[in-house]
Homo-oligomer: A and B are copies of this chain.
Amino acid sequence: MKISGRNKLEATVKEVVKGTVMAKIVMDYKGTELVAAITTDSVEDLDLKPGDKVTALVKATEMMVIK
């Protein structure tokens, strides 16, 4: 199975904060902190918790460049 989304970063979950609808997943990726805002439903569906090995996925059209 392959996903068209081009950016796949293998990270480790550090923190999970659940709100009513949205949740925050803080991850560590090679020393850089990543933050994803996903639905709380997804957190429960994937059973996300600190220490999990995950892949952060970002579609190429969602990435900007600063120079």
Contacts and interface: CB of A to CB of B under 8 A. Distances in A.
Interface of A: 1-9, 17-25, 27, 30, 32, 34-39, 41-43, 45-48, 52-67
A46 B5 CA distance: 11
Given A37-B63, A54-B65, A58-B58, 13 more contacts: A1-B67, A2-B45, A3-B57, A3-B64, A3-B65, A4-B46, A4-B66, A20-B20, A30-B30, A54-B66, A54-B67, A59-B61, A59-B62
Contacts of A23: 21
Nearest to A47: B67
Contacts of A64: 3-5, 36, 38, 56-59
